[in-house]
Structure 1
Amino acid sequence: MCAEKKKFILDLPVKIILTEDGASSFISNKKKLLRIRLADNLEEYGVSMDKVSPMSIQSMILLDYISKIEISMPEFVTRRQEVMDLSKVIVFSILYKQFDREIYNSFIKCDIVRRHNRANPSQLIDEKTVMSDKQLRTQLSIKDNVIQMARQTILEPVWKSIMDNTEFTPEEKNVYLLMTEKFLNRLSLMNWYIITKFYKADGFNELLGILRQSLANYMEKSKVAEYISVMVMELALNAENTNIRKEARILYRGVENGDTLIYDPDIRAKIVKEMERKHELVFVSWKIGGGTAAIGKQGRLQITLYNKDDEFQEMKENIESKMSADLNKRSLIDFYRQMPDEAEGTDLGLYYLSYLEDACKKVNVKFESLVNQFTSTDLTVITLIFNF
């Protein structure tokens, strides 16, 4: 187990596609947007960069500014940690948002809030309430001491249960302690407004119970982030090795055992350089939620991984609209089971997939996987869908 990010900067070529709110914010700050062509050959507005800050990615996701993130490289093995860190940042950001939404949706159903609404019909706190950040900050600025006391009241029993849990290692205890703070730190201003408004009022214990139970639930859900990052990396490495083997057979025709070539660092580097020249890349994309208006889909994450080269015509339209008789559909586990015996990492992939499926079931995260193989080409499209 580890925290969701380790580095201040990730050395990755990233394409970020913006939501309408994100594009509006960039334009109002006089930042130029690009029309970016993605792996599915759709063009969307966003930004492209060679390095990215995990904190910036997280902040933009929390503001609903990002709809998709895509990276593409000929090989992933040298960027293993960066790719895993990016995946974890994305998953944790979605978890933070879901935590905040669940807290608010539960708060407005509490007796203490309903009593307030009946007594103050002109100051309703419900699903339609809209208060500007400026207004909320003004209200909270004079309640800093209440915020600190409320934090302590919320966290003390949670921390005690973590420290008293004999099943946790010292490292796990430290991570969980840090994680509870991270989730609270990312609560929206509106939720803090409710907490401070009713702090120590009759009925506040109901709000406390919601916060503590949700913290416990999301500490467990956070384990999924690690499994997802490992699974993404495993799939990327398998795709990378498939491409490298194919290119090795072209560059070194006549060599009896071409597989041995790819383990020579110099030869592998030469093969990777040739793949880059031909634009034979592995693409990984993260599609985040369904937008603020997509009811029930805000906690959705779709991860798509596939190979592509410049001459592949079948990708000219959106992948989703091309699901026709020209491909074979199956689950990811069937895909692994039907891989050739000599394919490296098959057992490892099944092992990771099993852990991921089990972890998702335990914490009520809906997970499905799909593999689409186009019969007229070697293209394999793998899709992982999570609903947090």
Structure 2
Amino acid sequence: MSAPAKIEGKDPFVHLPASIIFTPRGLEMVGASPALKKVTSRDGLPKEGLQSDSYNAQTIQKLVMKSCIEEIYVALPDLLRKRFEIISTNNLIVYGVLYKKLTPSLARTLFESSVVKEYNRKNPKNSIVDLNHISPQKVEQLQKTSPELIEGIKSNLRTLITERILGATNLNEEDQHARVRSLPRFLDRVDPRIWFVYYVISHTGFKSAMERTFASMIYSYLHHTQIATHLSNLLMEFIQNAEKAHFERLIVRHGLADKGAVDYFLRDAENRRKVTALAQKTSQMLELSWTMNPERNTIGQQYRILISISNYGIIDERVSQSLARKMKTNTDGISLASFYGNDEEDGKLGAGLGLLYNSYLEDICRQEGIQYRCNIYPEPKREKTTVRIDMTL
């Protein structure tokens, strides 16, 4: 993929070996690229896509925003050493969807606001009721002749919203910093037609009201950034525990240490390298995938993200039978709370922090009206366990 100019001091590439599978729309966009080839999806099916040790973050995010990517699939002998790259990938996907939904969300809220309704009531001949009714020529003219006006509007809004974020006592420091960092990027992705509406209405006696309304809209939309933060925390907690189960299986099966001595064995860096090499040699890979298939998984303005983490781990007969009983009554998998409902299963797949981060996400998604599920899919015959995080933004 072609790369944009490198930002000084910042690597534009995410160094995570992955298969990137395209949607039909994505295949039309990349055309007959020589890099395009058959790659294996998470389900083991041959698909059209790219395979690379790294990818350009901005390019992939733009493709996500254009619904051109169906899946990003990673299969490695270990994943924790790629923590930064995994979090970067997760964030660019979630933020890509949030950027994509930004304009329709702002437009809907803006045209339903009292300030726009009042403007339309007082200016019936020049009423503004839909973005599609705005002249592209007028928008382009404003951008060309008065770019400093739009930048001034953005600057004022940045100041107002930043002050509000930092003064919000209900936000922890991590969430405050995430929102302040994200604010300029969200403002830069606002549709020019919306800035045109802002400019027109604010120059007809509604400036203060328009500024307050728009600042509140952006501030509210930034609540969604909590999703990326807590989702990354939850994802890495599952990966950490999946990797431990993955290594434990290899260590015990190959006689490197007894089950009770696995933790001690893995504290040695050289031992970890040996187990990682063994996983590579025996093709025992940890799997991580993000699926975003708009043809199958998207309805209207909703965008579904399915994240899967799979590992080959030791499942004893007692736990296997317990999971099988639960699966009979829940064909969609086993909820996190159900899986950790018994003390005997405590400690598997990161019960403590996993449940905590999952609880955060459930609360946030419930407040924002976002569909969210996190289930566990055991496969005892293959000694494989999959955690699936399913979110519809």
TM-score, length of structure 2 as denominator length = 0.77
Distance 1:145 1:334 in 2: 56
Q: Report the counterpart of residue 63 of structure 2 in structure 1.
A: 60
Q: Report the counterpart of residue 279 of structure 2 in structure 1.
A: 275
- CA pair 336-167 structure 1, distance change in 2 beyond 3 A: closer
Query: Offset at 1:253?
Result: 6.5
Distance 2:26 2:141 in 1: 25
- CA pair 130-215 structure 1, distance change in 2 beyond 3 A: closer
Contact 1:291 1:297 in 2 (8 A): no
Q: Does 1:96 align with 2:99?
A: yes
Q: Does 1:74 align with 2:80?
A: no
Query: Offset at 1:255?
Result: 4.1
Q: Report the counterpart of residue 177 of structure 1 in structure 2.
A: 180
Distance 2:329 2:39 in 1: 29
Distance 1:75 1:206 in 2: 54
After superposition, residues 1-388 of structure 1 pair within 5 angstroms as 8-27=12-31, 30=33, 32-109=35-112, 110-111=116-117, 119=125, 126=130, 137=140, 140-165=143-168, 175-201=178-204, 208-252=211-255, 255=258, 257-259=260-262, 260-288=264-292, 290=294, 294-296=298-300, 298-307=302-311, 329-337=333-341, 340-341=345-346, 343=348, 345-388=350-393
Q: Report the counterpart of residue 320 of structure 1 in structure 2.
A: none
What SS does the corresponding residue of 1:367 show, helix, strand or coil? Answer: strand
Distance 1:202 1:226 in 2: 40
Query: Offset at 1:115?
Result: 7.2
- CA pair 129-306 structure 1, distance change in 2 beyond 3 A: farther
Distance 1:160 1:35 in 2: 50
Name the amino acid aligned to 1:385. D
- CA pair 326-156 structure 1, distance change in 2 beyond 3 A: closer
Query: Offset at 1:239?
Result: 1.6
* 1:180-235 CA-partner distances (Å, limit 9, x unpaired): 22211111334334334544235666754553222212332212211100111111
Moved more, 339-348 or 233-242: 339-348
Contact 1:288 1:302 in 2 (8 A): yes
Moved more, 230-239 or 88-97: 88-97
Length, aligned pairs only: 366
- CA pair 75-254 structure 1, distance change in 2 beyond 3 A: closer
Contact 1:95 1:299 in 2 (8 A): no
Does 1 or 2 have the higher relative contact order (CA < 8 Å, sep 6+)? 1
Query: Is there any run of 5+ residues in structure 2 with no aligned partner, and where?
Result: 1-9, 314-326
What SS does the corresponding residue of 1:222 show, helix, strand or coil? Answer: helix
Distance 2:300 2:210 in 1: 23
- CA pair 369-169 structure 1, distance change in 2 beyond 3 A: closer
The root-mean-square deviation of aligned C-alpha atoms, in Å, is: 3.8
- CA pair 23-117 structure 1, distance change in 2 beyond 3 A: farther
Name the amino acid aligned to 1:143. S
Distance 1:49 1:255 in 2: 37
Name the amino acid aligned to 1:35. K
Q: Report the counterpart of residue 318 of structure 1 in structure 2.
A: none
Contact 1:287 1:301 in 2 (8 A): yes
Query: Offset at 1:354?
Result: 2.5
Moved more, 178-187 or 359-368: 359-368
- CA pair 166-359 structure 1, distance change in 2 beyond 3 A: closer
Distance 2:239 2:45 in 1: 22
Query: What fraction of aligned residue pairs are identical, expressed as a percent?
Result: 20
Contact 2:234 2:354 in 1 (8 A): yes
Distance 1:66 1:137 in 2: 30
Q: Report the counterpart of residue 5 of structure 2 in structure 1.
A: none
Contact 1:112 1:204 in 2 (8 A): no
